[in-house]
Structure 1
Amino acid sequence: MLIRLTNSRVLRNCNIFGEIPAYIWSMKNLTMLDVSFNKLVGELSSTIGAERLKFVFLTGNLLSGNVPQSILRDGNSVDLSYNNFTLKGPLDCQDNLNLNLNLYRSSSKENNSMGILPCLKNFKCSRYSKCMHVNCGGGDITFKDENNTKVLYEGDGAVEGGTAKYYRNDRSMWGFSSTGDFMDDYDLQNTRYSISLASSNLSELYTTARISPISLTYFFYCLENGSYTITLHFAEIKFTNDKGYSSLGRRIFDIYVQEILVWKDFNIEDEAGMAQKKLVKQVPNVNVTSNVLEIRFYWAGKGTTRTPERGDYGPLISAISVVSYLKPCTNGGNARTIYIVAGVAVGALCLTLFILAILWWKGLLRGKRGRQKGRDMQTGTFTLKQIKVATDDFDPSNKIGEGGFGPVYKGHLPDGSLVAVKQLSSNSRQGNREFLNEMGMISCVQHPNLVKLHGCCIEGDQLLLVYEYMENNSLAGALFGRENHRIKLDWPTRLNICTGIARGLAFLHEESRLKIVHRDIKATNVLLDGDLNPKISDFGLAKLDEEEKTHISTRVAGTIGYMAPEYALWGRLTYKADVYSFGVVVLEVVSGKKNSYAPSDSCELVDERLRYEVNGQEAEVMVKVGLLCTNASPSLRPTMSEVVSMLEGRTPVPDVAVPEASTHLMFKAMRDVHDRSQKQSLGGSQSQNVTTNITFCSSSTPGHDLN
């Protein structure tokens, strides 16, 4: 590009060889020199006589030697990135001046970290990260990823300066380098190269973006070496979809990852199909071998430059996500510190709650507890007075459910947040046992697909557990509730629900420090939040899985119709009992019916309310997974991590051989018990115990709970 403006010389990307002529630096009226992206060599003149020179763009050459101090003047914009200069450290950085100076990779590439961190001498990483998330051109926001996990995207929208800009986030170990000036926008200040869309249907992550006139490089340092998946988020928010002048713009640029061209002539609008629509592109298996990752967006002079306005060209990026391919995401040292502090806090809460429960169990807190004044709700304990205020003294209109051992109420805390209050009977040994079990289990494990326990109240004869409030109640209510209370669950939502439950169980069985068997997985114990994301609840019957033992022999507890045969008949408990229960839930979700057994054709099992919106291939996978999990033999059931992989399409589902229930002893015995319990219920004596070795408890929930 050869441009000669008054007092400006722009010879960008002209394939120029040799040295910069000395006379250039003595031109009295020269205000801008742009000779970037050529093949210039040699050293710069030690004396710069061009007194009016304000903009110097030398990026992308082979220039060497020292950086003359006379070019680093207050108020200048100087870009020396991608060269071979010899830097003198802080002297060249000129942090004390009001100077836009970009030294990114301006020195020899022998030291990789020094290239991207030119002003840090003898830098060494004190910690290493496995993932980073950046909201380009916007503020800090929390955004749900493809797994419906909330992720914090750190923003750089407040970073001032665009021309020759080098920015580094020392806390989270990432930054960017921006090169060039929108020369025809009549803006010599260029205080900010970020744009936003005032109103649209886009989520917040896509309504802001960072732009650059020539080259924009995001760099991430102190990453653990290994394989990473890069997710790039785009939305063309400068152009429109109408037939007006604003729809005529064309933005075209190239994308490099680790200096390798991955997309040439990339056009956001063409890729997305329209303007102002989100576009997500992934680059898998990116190798990081020197703890540094670079993603570069480069404008090669293609597309429009003045449509709809001057300066509407160059690369644009909304957000970037960098996640380790194999290792857990911890967001580096800062997040690691947060996790450690959170872990200590959670551990302290667990210990506090458990000690309180034991003291109450021993009777040491009875009588005294009622005289205590209100406590801070952040401690995890609530007074009975606080609970009564929150629930309007347990007003029946706030009752949202009925558990096996007591009602559940909706509560309003003084800060405006909603909670669910579970009331257990202290006169029942089973209620006491469930209360202790629930506190000891769920307060010590945290996962996006497990319901969160906020605290408890132990006062007088009251045992109360306070949970996060789930707006859409239970999965059972959504599927089987009264017609006017049911929620229309489309096919993608049902798949997401099953996958979420599987992730929660995989965490309990395999990933949590405490390996836990839930023992009562069923549709009523899966709650749905405002976005219909599933959360496993009710840990009153949960057991710790003793890994050194093949199984636990225990008193049978759970719900008929969901219990694995080997557990219901002989009390042999392993995590495979949860797998069986999960399989039953999957078949219920697919069919929309309680405790469904699959016919020969999986299509016949799919809920008729879904009609033609079902993805046939996904439905087949779901049914196969349900059948595989409900296999009569525990050894043939998959682990929950394998189930997650199957549901996400990463692992094929093996063929399932379904035994005839009528000929299989265990299924026959299970059906006999179930039939007897149904007859007992129809006979009007549901609250009475059945004359078998298994004791039934009264419950208003689907199925029959065993205590």
Structure 2
Amino acid sequence: MKVKDGILTSKLCRPTSFGVVNNTWRIFTYKELHAATNGFSDDNKLGEGGFGSVYWGRTSDGLQIAVKKLKAMNSKAEMEFAVEVEVLGRVRHKNLLGLRGYCVGDDQRLIVYDYMPNLSLLSHLHGQFAVDVQLNWQRRMNIAIGSAEGILYLHREVTPHIIHRDIKASNVLLNSEFEPLVADFGFAKLIPEGVSHMTTRVKGTLGYLAPEYAMWGKVSESCDVYSFGILLLELVTGRKPIEKLPGGLKRTITEWAEPLIAKGKLRDLVDPKLRGNFDENQVKQAINVAALCVQSEAEKRPNMKEVVNLLKGFEYEEKKVTVTRIDSIKYDEELLALDQLSDKDHDDATASYGVFSAIEVQKMKDPYKRMG
């Protein structure tokens, strides 16, 4: 897709529905969006990131929308805008945030989504709603399964296949029924038929990055599987992918979880905010799936079809043995220094909508010392 003279020149694909969702989109005028958001008022701002800001709005026909307004129009921003609109126009699944519309002006690029009243998974695990504990165990498992089904659709059902590259808690939005919708396709890669992997510039969010992607820029469906494994651990434990320790040290969620999994202390892994209200068999299965997903070697990870089946309780022969330990990846200090997500970024309630660009990580020579 290209943007020329204010018009997106490629025709967006309209595939048949999968997961049954009504996802019609249209081109908005800047005047319409300006009026809907009360002039992009600060009172309407849902969040802000490196790309610009997201605003709540209401259209003239009463539809609640979220408007992503790009801050700077450089080649990088233009490309991410084009990619996201292209991908959003392709996806048709109940667990993916589809395109409501977009606006292209001389110096304006805006993307319009449906507004999600329960904001993002991040806001409920670590942000403004964390103390309310609205995510009980059953909701967490529904979010895990729904998110996995959305990613599976990207990998298998849409053509060309799509690798998301930025699966994380702030990119899983929640509707009024707490159903998950995976969002933010600015970093997505469209993979031609018959291609298993590509080498590309590394983009994503530290803590969720698969080792082969962070080291060599080798991106494949397995990278999304790894990121989903971290997300699943986050859902079960209520912990952040990277947490700060006293003295300025940082520890990944896999480093924290590894000894508990090895000792079989699975109850100690569960988010204490649940106060013991969870299904132990489901916890065991979820931890098993997460451990499989975050294996350091990509070929040892399941694909998303297998992940969905395992989460739903359907075993398949090769994965019947429960994983009793995980290959915890320890980030090199040089790579950790690139972690631009401050505590404010993690905890700020304004960052909880989730339709944000993530940090960009430069390729490192060997950030994972243990990988040899």
Note whether the superposition's TM-score is higher than 0.5: yes
- 1:391 Cα deviation from its structure 2 partner: 0.3
CA distance in structure 2 between the partners assigned to 1:485 and 1:705 by the alignment: 27
Q: Does structure 2 retain, via aligned residues, the 8 Å contact 1:519–1:577? A: yes
Q: Does 1:620 align with 2:284?
A: yes
Q: Does 1:529 align with 2:193?
A: no
- 1:434 Cα deviation from its structure 2 partner: 1.0
Q: Does 1:545 align with 2:212?
A: no
Which aligned pairs between 1:350-365 and structure 2 lie closer than 5 A?
Answer: 354=1, 357-360=3-6
Alignment partner, residue 310 of structure 2: 646
Q: Does structure 2 retain, via aligned residues, the 8 Å contact 1:423–1:463? A: yes
CA distance in structure 2 between the partners assigned to 1:393 and 1:576 by the alignment: 42
Q: Please, what TM-score do these two structures have when normalized by structure 2? A: 0.79
CA distance in structure 1 between the partners assigned to 2:89 and 2:214 by the alignment: 28
CA distance in structure 2 between the partners assigned to 1:579 and 1:613 by the alignment: 28
**What letter matches 1:473 in structure 2?**
L
Match of 2:236 among 590, 594, 600: 590
Equivalent residue of 1:569, what SS? helix
Alignment partner, residue 143 of structure 2: 497
Quick one: structure 1 residues 464 and 487, their matched pair in 2 at CA, closer, same or farther if it must change by over 3 Å? farther
CA distance in structure 2 between the partners assigned to 1:361 and 1:654 by the alignment: 53
CA distance in structure 2 between the partners assigned to 1:508 and 1:528 by the alignment: 19
CA distance in structure 1 between the partners assigned to 2:341 and 2:83 by the alignment: 30
Alignment partner, residue 461 of structure 1: 107
- 1:611 Cα deviation from its structure 2 partner: 1.5
Aligned sequence identity (%): 38
Deviations 1:579-627 (A, max 9, x none): 0000000000001111122222221110001122100000111111111
**What letter matches 2:158 in structure 1?**
S
Alignment partner, residue 706 of structure 1: 360
Q: Does structure 2 retain, via aligned residues, the 8 Å contact 1:525–1:537? A: yes
Alignment partner, residue 383 of structure 1: 29
- 1:654 Cα deviation from its structure 2 partner: 3.5
Q: Does structure 1 retain, via aligned residues, the 8 Å contact 2:51–2:72? A: no
- 1:660 Cα deviation from its structure 2 partner: 5.2
CA distance in structure 1 between the partners assigned to 2:71 and 2:4 by the alignment: 16
Q: Does 1:634 align with 2:298?
A: yes
Alignment partner, residue 74 of structure 2: 428
Alignment partner, residue 409 of structure 1: 55
Quick one: structure 1 residues 553 and 594, their matched pair in 2 at CA, closer, same or farther if it must change by over 3 Å? same
Quick one: structure 1 residues 673 and 638, their matched pair in 2 at CA, closer, same or farther if it must change by over 3 Å? farther
Equivalent residue of 1:473, what SS? coil
Deviations 1:296-346 (A, max 9, x none): xxxxxxxxxxxxxxxxxxxxxxxxxxxxxxxxxxxxxxxxxxxxxxxxxxx
Alignment partner, residue 569 of structure 1: 215
Q: Does 1:677 align with 2:347?
A: no
Quick one: structure 1 residues 571 and 417, their matched pair in 2 at CA, closer, same or farther if it must change by over 3 Å? same
CA distance in structure 2 between the partners assigned to 1:433 and 1:574 by the alignment: 20
Alignment partner, residue 275 of structure 2: 611
Deviations 1:544-583 (A, max 9, x none): 1234233101111111110100001101110000000000
Question: Unmatched 5+ residue regions in structure 1?
Answer: 1-353, 364-377, 662-666, 687-698
CA distance in structure 2 between the partners assigned to 1:657 and 1:706 by the alignment: 33
Quick one: structure 1 residues 490 and 379, their matched pair in 2 at CA, closer, same or farther if it must change by over 3 Å? closer
Equivalent residue of 1:625, what SS? helix
Q: Does structure 2 retain, via aligned residues, the 8 Å contact 1:521–1:582? A: yes
Q: Which moved more, 1:419-428 or 1:618-627?
A: 419-428
**What letter matches 1:492 in structure 2?**
Q
Question: Unmatched 5+ residue regions in structure 2?
Answer: 10-23, 242-252, 362-372
**What letter matches 1:705 in structure 2?**
I
**What letter matches 1:521 in structure 2?**
I
Q: How many residues align?
A: 319
CA distance in structure 2 between the partners assigned to 1:549 and 1:389 by the alignment: 45
Q: Does 1:656 align with 2:323?
A: yes
Q: Does structure 1 retain, via aligned residues, the 8 Å contact 2:26–2:100? A: yes
Quick one: structure 1 residues 454 and 487, their matched pair in 2 at CA, closer, same or farther if it must change by over 3 Å? farther
- 1:429 Cα deviation from its structure 2 partner: 2.3
Q: Which has the higher helix share?
A: 2
CA distance in structure 2 between the partners assigned to 1:630 and 1:389 by the alignment: 46
When the two chains are superposed, the root-mean-square deviation of aligned CA atoms in Å is 2.7
Q: Which has the higher strand share?
A: 1
CA distance in structure 2 between the partners assigned to 1:401 and 1:679 by the alignment: 17
Q: Does structure 1 retain, via aligned residues, the 8 Å contact 2:340–2:359? A: no
Q: Which is greater in Rg?
A: 1
